[in-house]
Amino acid sequence: MKKTLIAIATSGLLFAGLAAAADMATPDEAKAMSQQAQAAVNTMGKDKAFAAFSADGDFKKKDLYVFCMDMDGVMLSHATKPELVGKNLLDFKKYGDELFKNMIATVKASKEGWVDYKWPYPGTEEIRAKTSYVMANKEGFFCGVGAYK
């Protein structure tokens, strides 16, 4: 009986882990949302786009969300952490990577691209590999969307 209960509990935890993994987006989905964010900024302007990014809907799916930053490292919009807006994060490297410096360098060099870094996995304290697709827009800043690898 005890072995049966352990097996049931273990399989339940495994299933819960698989369900949570199914709720996580892929890098391809992150890139597609980043492209949509660029189009939104280019067509609606930054204020309407930022409002759309923060609202529940097309710019918040699974674990994906849009963030936007200027070329000096100031966060302009963050869909899940509005307290970061207005803060200069250029020198942020809490998890070992200078991710925002790398994002700015990528945008300056190529206008868009992938930036890899480490970030806490949702619901845990575990630091995992993450990648964000960042894209410049005609307003002069960039937006990005990240996914765990």
Give per-residue pLDDT as tens, 12-35: 443 334 445 668 999 999 999 999
Q: How many residues does the chain have?
A: 149
Can you spell out the DSSP letters for 77-118?
EESS-GGGTT-B-TT--TTS--HHHHHHHHHHHHSEEEEEEE
**What pLDDT shows up at residue 2?**
47
Rounded CA gap, 28 and 86, in Å? Answer: 29
Give per-residue pLDDT as tens, 121-149: 988 999 999 999 999 999 999 999 999 99
Rounded CA gap, 138 and 111, in Å? Answer: 11
Contact indicator for 143, 34 with CB cutoff of 8 Å: yes
| Average pLDDT score, the chain | 89
Prediction pTM value: 0.85
Give per-residue pLDDT as tens, 63-106: 999 999 999 999 999 999 999 999 999 999 999 999 999 999 99
Query: In the 8-state DSSP scheme, what is residue 60?
Result: -
